[in-house]
Structure formats: C-alpha cells, structure tokens
A and B are shown apart, each in its own frame.
Chain A
Amino acid sequence: MPDVDILVVGAGPAGAVAAWHAKLAAPELDVVLLERDRAVGAPVRCAEGVGDAGLREFVNPDGAAWVSRRITDVIFQAPDDTEIVLANSGLGWILDRTRFDACLAAEAAAAGAAVLVGAEATGMGRNGDDRWHVRVKERGREDVYRARVVIGADGVETMVGRWAGLDTRVPSRDMESCAQYVLQGIEFNPNAIYLQFSNAIAPGGYAWIFPKAVGVANVGLGIVSLRADGRNARQYLDDWIGRRFPAGARTGYTVGGVIVHTTIKKTYADGVLVAGDAAHMLNPLSGGGINNAMKAGRLAGCTAAAAVREHDTSESRLASYHKAWMDLLGEDHLKYYRLKQALEHMDDAFLNALARTVNKIPSDKRTLGRVLMKAIVKHPQLIPVVAGFFV
C-alpha cells in the first residue's frame, strides 16, 4: 500500500502541470501522476489550438517538437461563407497533443514526480486515517494508494469529483457534442484558423478548421443537441465536410464533449482538488481549455503542496484554491458564459448581415472597438449582448 503526499489522477495538461508544480513548490513531497491510457496524450480528443501568451507561462513553443503550426490570423465565416479576416489578430499555435502532453509529463518527471501510464483509479474512500485510499488498477493488479491530497484532473467524465461528493454534472444545454477529422489534401490558408458560425452547420456551437500543416487540418464542429435537428455531431460533420471538402482524405477521427458552462460551484473537498475540464474550467465561448487547465493545474499543485507542508489538507485549507481560480479566470468565464447565452439567439440571416457590416470596415482599421461600434449601430439587437458582457 504505497503512501504518497499528492496523487494526481489524469496526465493531461491540468494533471501534468499540477504534479510538476507541486514538486517545484515542495521537492521533498512524494507526488505520483496517474494516466489511465497506455500513452500520455493519446487518444487525442482536442482541436489542439492554444493562445501564445498563456502557453508561454509554462513552456516555450519556439521550435518545439510538439508544435504543429504557428497561427497568425483568424478567419470568421458567416453561414453563407462570407469571410471576415482578422489578420495579425494575435499569435496562436496548433499543438501536437500527443507530443505536447508527453512533454508536460516529462517536466513533471524531471521535477521528481513518478509518472505511471496504464494506471487507472477505480475508486476511493476514507478510512479514518486522514488519507484518501485510492484503488488503482495497473496491468491487471490492484494497488491501494494512500494519499494526503488527491488532485482530480480526469477530464469531462471525472470520477474523482464524484467520489469526493462534488457536483460535476452539467445541463445538456451547456454540453457541446463534438466530432473531428484530420483531413489531408485540402486547400485553406495554413496560417489561419477558421471558425464558422451557423445554425444549419453547427447549431449552438461552431465549425472549425485548425491547420496542422499545409493541406492538413483538424476539421470539426461542436453542436448543442437540444438545438439540433435529430442528427448527431458526427452526422453534422459528415454533411458539412461532404459539401466543403469532398476530396479530403480522412486520416484521423475523434469525438468528445466540451463543457461550455462555468466553473463548478465547489472545486475542493477534504483532501481533494479538481482541476481542468473535470471542474468545467474552460472558456465557455471558445471551448478553449488547454491554457485554462494548465493554470488551474499550477494553482492546484501549489495549493496541495503548501497544504501538505502545513499538515493541514482540510476542506477549509484547500478552499483557497477555489478563490484563487475564480480571481484568475473563473469570474471571466462567468462573463463569457453570459455572452454565449446572448449570442445563442442570433439566427443565420442576422449573422450573414453582421458579416457584411463588418466587412465594410477596411481590414487595416478593423479593431475590435470599431467592429463593436459599427455592429451595434447597424444591428441594435446586439446592445443587450454587449451590455451583458460588461455587467
């Protein structure tokens, strides 16, 4: 029965950074990072896009082997394919998540954490000794790890949150059902990400093209099933790709859920912290979660390390994690969520008209401020949307 100070469940960006930063904060602690799958980073369930600034807080993307593509432009597409090009709209990257997640796990290992792959937590409980007893299945045998703090970084389906008695459920209106292919041999601007908004193509969400190389991209979409016409996400994607890229070779495929909600009400319990997708720590407008997960993981790792050092891993001690997260990004996500709710009511005819309005602004003068001003003057129905964002 191994005794550890901090047991991290899930070696995605949240978990790997949590283990890494827990060791940086307190090198003397025993930190173990568990990955259920046989390889860290696989299977990829992600569009792999990430902003530059957030990423650089953790790792340097320049020349890194885990980068697929450097992105400089964003192209919004209206339902009728009208394009709004935001050139030089801020640097971003398309990652190779298989390599990227492995890089983060390697950082955790270099800092002294033990990384176990093919090791799945299957349940946990208290046993009157101030530690969590976590059952871990690895290569057919079961061990029980006794941990002072368990960090649940186990994704959308989080079981750690459940076992700790936290409410990690999500209403169906806030669940994006996503499907994505890796398409090869297609034509697009390889320096831009494309986002298409249309109720006919991707109701309640959007469709995306994220370049991985010239002629190769992650092409996918997310839908809210309550707003769909009976087709599932994969069927919507097949229909869209069939029209748009009929000749593209489908060399990869993934599906998954993106929770476009806000941070769960309570991300901590006695001896437990939950981070990343597991705690719904995504930007609900974009669905972006990688940088959010790493920032949450860093907070979780540092909080857990400090708590263990102080010999106080109680719920009240760990509550500081929740507050720190809400101050850092959680409160912003509440604003993005309100904006998302307001935008849900825009129909395709309106989106087409909005795109034409924006395109009348010369591209070199197309700042966010000018776009907003022009859009509000021409389309007063946007006023409550914009107002809601600043409340």
Chain B
Amino acid sequence: MRRVTPDTIAVVDLAVCDRCGLCLPLCPPEAIHLELNTLTVDDATCTGCEKCIAPCPVGALAMVAYA
C-alpha cells in the first residue's frame, strides 16, 4: 500500500519528553523510536494519525505541518 503523504506529522519536544516510552506501542506504523535516551519520530514513516498526541502524560508531542 502506498503511503499517502500526510499534511501534518508528529514531533517531540525533547525538553518536555520524559522518555517513558508510552507512545511507542501506540504508533500504528511504529514510527517512534527510543534509543540512547532520545525519542525520535521518523517523519518518513509517520502517517499523521495523531494517536500519540493526547496520551503523552506530559504533552511532549505535537503535530506540525509536513514540510
């Protein structure tokens, strides 16, 4: 299935993120990674579904326009 380019994608604010890992299993395409104490969202994989946004206990994830 070809991936439709989303209008917005998730980004993480590392100054707020607590590295708890809660968002990883919530991501349907598994676009979020936690490695060496840094959370990253792979913008080539993110589908913009927003499933990770509200559950973040500290509000570290937000949607931004996909450049």
Residues of A contacting B20 in the complex (Cβ-Cβ under 8 angstroms): 45, 156, 254-257
State how many residues of chain A have any CB contact under 8 Å with chain B. Answer: 30
Is B24 close to A, CB under 8 A?
yes
Secondary structure call for the B interface: loop
- B15 in contact (CB, < 8 A): no
Cβ B25 vs Cβ A168 within 8 A: yes
Tell me the total A-B contact number using a CB cutoff of 8 A.
80
Any chain B CB within 8 A of the CB of A367? no
> A122 vs B40: C-alpha distance in the bound complex, in angstroms?
14
| Selected contact of B36 from candidates A137, A156, A157, A159, CB within 8 Å | A137
Determine if B35 and A169 form an interchain contact, defined as CB atoms under 8 angstroms apart: no
Is there a chain B Cβ closer than 8 Å to A177's Cβ? yes
A255 to B54, CA, bound (A): 14
Contact status of A169 and B57, CB under 8 A, knowing A155-B21, A257-B20, A257-B21:
no
Q: Which stretch from A64-72, A228-236, A287-295 is at the chain B interface?
A: A228-236
Could you give, for residues 21-58 of chain B, a 1 whenever the CB lies within 8 Å of some chain A CB and a 0 otherwise?
11111111010011110000000000000010011111
B25-A170 in contact (CB<8A): yes
Partner of A156 from B21, B33, B54, B58 at Cβ < 8 Å: B21
CB distance from A43 to the nearest CB of B (A): 9
A232 to B23, CA, bound (A): 13
Are B35 and A122 in contact, CB atoms less than 8 angstroms apart?
yes
Distance of A64 from chain B, by nearest CB (Å):
27
Contact B22 A256 (CB under 8 A): yes
Residues of B within 8 A of A234 (CB): 57-59
Q: Contact: A169 with B18, CB < 8 Å? A: no
Query: B residues within 8 A CB of A259?
Result: 25
Q: Which residues of B contact A177 (CB under 8 A)?
A: 22, 55-57
- CB <8 Å contact, A232 and B25: no
Enumerate A152-183 residues with CB–CB distance to B below 8 Å.
155-159, 162, 168-170, 172, 175, 177-179
Complex Cα–Cα for A172 and B55 (A): 8
Q: Which residue of A lies closest to B32 (CB)?
A: A157
| A96 beta carbon closer than 8 Å to chain B | no
Smallest Cβ-Cβ distance to A222: which chain B residue? B57
CA distance A233 to B55 in the complex (A): 8
Residue of A nearest to B49 (CB): A172
Bound-state Cα–Cα, A157 to B24, Å = 5
Distance to closest chain A CB from B37 (angstroms): 8
Residues of A within 8 A of B22 (CB): 156-157, 175, 177, 255-257
Query: Which has the most chain A C-beta neighbours within 10 Å: B27, B30, B58?
Result: B58
Q: Is the CB of A156 within 8 A of B51?
A: no
CB of A5 closer than 8 Å to a CB of B: no
Q: Contacts A232-B59, A255-B18: A120 and B35 contacting too (C-beta < 8 A)? A: yes
- Complex Cα distance, B59 from A287, in Å, reads 22
Question: In the bound complex, what is the Cα–Cα distance between A179 and B54 (angstroms)?
Answer: 14
Q: What are 20 A-B contacts with C-beta separation under 8 Å? A: A122-B36, A156-B22, A157-B22, A157-B25, A158-B25, A159-B34, A169-B30, A175-B26, A177-B55, A177-B57, A228-B54, A232-B56, A232-B58, A234-B57, A255-B18, A255-B57, A256-B20, A256-B57, A257-B21, A257-B55
Going nearest first, the 4 A-B pairs with the smallest beta carbon separation are A157-B21, A257-B22, A233-B57, A225-B54
